[in-house]
Amino acid sequence: MKTKLEKSINWSIYFFQLITSIILLYMLYTIKFIPVNYIIIGGVVLLSLLIGEYFLIFYKKPKSKRSIMTQVLSFVLSCIMIVGSFYVYKMGSVVDLLSAETFQKRAISVIVLKDSEIRNEKQLPKHHIGYVTSVNNESMDYAKKEIEKEVGNISLTDYKDFHDLLEALYTQKVDGIILDEAFRTLIDQDKKTFDDDTRVIYQILKDEGSISAKNVDVTNKPFLTYVSGNDQYGDISTISRSDVNMLIAINPTTHQVLLISIPRDVYYPLHRNGQLDKFTHTGVYGLQESIDTLQDIMSEEINYYARMNFTSFIKIVDAIGGISVNSPADFTTKIGNFNIKKGENVLNAKEALAFVRERKSFIDGDFARGRNQQRMIAAILKKVCSPAILTSFSAVLDTVSESVETNLSSDDINALVQMQLSNMPSWDIQSYQIVGDPAKKPCYSLGGREASVVIPYDSSVEQARQYIDDLMAGKIIQTEDGNLNENDIDKNNEE
């Protein structure tokens, strides 16, 4: 006869498994991206286990080895389901965080030379300050009002460009400058030691508007996503230049993905005012300006965006345990001095970042970098979709929630994941890069000063538009190795 204690233990273990089974099924249902048929199958399996275990636990002789073994397995399975429920909840939280409405932050600093007597903003009314309003009047007006609200009237001189502003600071014609931090990289190009020579004594943060999505049924209709990688470390919401620019066209019915790479130096009119500038400089006016200008270039409506920065990239590659990527040539990166060999390379996070940023080692510079960025994106997608990701699943979830910003809604993300799990389609990835001639041209963001740019070929832009139109219309775009630029070369040779 079983004692009351034995019965109590048996029922406790059994009810523990019953409760954890219900919790797991509930969590799978609430996160919305697990197909219902998978949940039903899981429910049937868990119910069958409970029925079988009931007879093995309660209808066996007291202290039966099979009964004891079943109880042990039941307890272990319950613990596994608790862990599984936690990760399912975590996955749902990541999706919610990714799709949360995000506002970009514009940081505007008051900067002085390192040996300046100015220690804080309270001293500003006694000194003369310089700034540049011609390229970003709205932000400078905002900064002026905020500073004067805090400390009173200040003496300001408006310079025509950043070169003149820097000269005034270093020759002490002004005691300090007001600088939108999004433009710091442009100043660093003019004065390499600027960061070491100066210090920030005061900073204003200005919230920018969020980016609205142009929603479609992502499981049945093709859509366009702009992928932006800005050239900063730290907070992803900080406004800065866009160093990586890619337009991704996705057709969920034909299961094709088209990667269109836009060289950072493409020379094109800004959407905001029609002034010619590098495309990378659109980022200093905010993500919406990048999207609007890219829509002008491609004559296509962009539905969504995804954004990350250098810190994000490093964290993601670290989380997935490094990345294996194929290089078409041997080269040594200027950043970090890493040796990349022709063929397959296994790279850590810092090496991977240097790989996608490198351009000076190649004859065709930015074009080669764009192709390497496409290779890196394909390599990351390949690893994320492989069983190898299971060993770092938790770290990847944590990293993605902190490091990627997008305006895809949680419903859209859930629908895409559910479609992939339900049908397990094999995606065909094709890539194309806009090409053009290098030149020296005046850039609006530099106050009209000349800089290295790429003047895109009209035929290349038109071809990119045609490939997008074909994919959106459901036509299959096919090449042997996925490189549509090589396909264009073959066509030209035939002609």
- Summarize pLDDT for 107-131 with one digit per residue, the tens: 899 999 999 999 999 999 999 999 9
- CA–CA separation, 416 and 304 (whole Å): 14
Q: For the ranges 108-112, 129-133, 232-236, 301-305, which has the lowest average pLDDT? A: 232-236
**Of residues 486 and 258, more confidently modeled:** 258
pLDDT at residue number 394:
63
pLDDT of residue 308: 81
Confidence of residue 277 (pLDDT cuts 50, 70, 90): very high
pLDDT at 149 over 60: yes
Least confident of 75-79, 199-203, 361-365: 361-365
Tell whether the model's pLDDT for residue 304 goes beyond 80. yes
| Helix residue spans in 358-409 (DSSP H) | 365-384, 393-403
- State the pLDDT at residue 75: 92
| pLDDT above 50 (res 489) | no
Whether 98 shows a pLDDT value over 80: the answer reads no
Label residue 163 left, alpha or beta by phi (over 0 means left) and psi (-120 to 50 means alpha).
alpha
Q: What is the mean pLDDT of residues 157-165?
A: 93
Strand (E) or helix (H) holding 130: strand 128-131
Q: Does the pLDDT of residue 385 top 90, yes or no?
A: no
Q: Looking at the predicted structure, is the pLDDT value of residue 392 above 80?
A: no
pLDDT of residue 253: 93
Lowest-confidence region among 93-102, 155-164, 221-230: 93-102
pTM: 0.80
Residue 25 has a pLDDT of 93
Count of alpha carbons within 13 Å of 424, Cβ hemisphere only?
1
**What integer pLDDT is reported at residue 389 of this predicted model?**
63
Gap between the Cα atoms of 255 and 107, Å rounded = 41
Long-range contact pairs involving 287-296 (C-beta distance under 8 Å, separation at least 24): 287/104, 287/211, 287/228, 287/239, 288/208, 288/209, 288/211, 290/226, 290/228, 290/242, 290/245, 291/211, 291/226, 293/268, 293/269, 294/226, 294/245, 294/247, 294/262, 295/271, 296/268, 296/269, 296/271
The predicted pLDDT at position 388 comes to 62
Rounded CA-CA distance 310/324 in Å is 19
At 231, the pLDDT band (50, 70, 90 cuts) reads low
pLDDT on residue 397: 66
Q: What is the pLDDT of residue 492?
A: 45
Average pLDDT over residues 67-85: 89
The average pLDDT across 457-479 equals 92
- Is the pLDDT assigned to residue 140 strictly greater than 80? yes
Q: What is the pLDDT at residue 100?
A: 67
Percent with pLDDT over 90 in the chain: 50
3-state helix, strand, coil in the chain (%, to 5): 50, 20, 30
- Position 415 pLDDT exceeds 90: no
Rounded mean pLDDT of 457-476?
Answer: 95
DSSP letter at 479?
A: -
Asked if residue 103 has pLDDT above 70, the reply is: no
Predicted local distance difference test score (pLDDT) of residue 480: 61
Does residue 156 surpass a pLDDT of 90?
Answer: yes
Q: Which residue has the higher pLDDT, 28 or 90?
A: 28
Lowest-confidence segment of 144-153, 196-205, 407-416, 421-430 by average pLDDT: 421-430
- Mean pLDDT of all residues in 207-234: 85
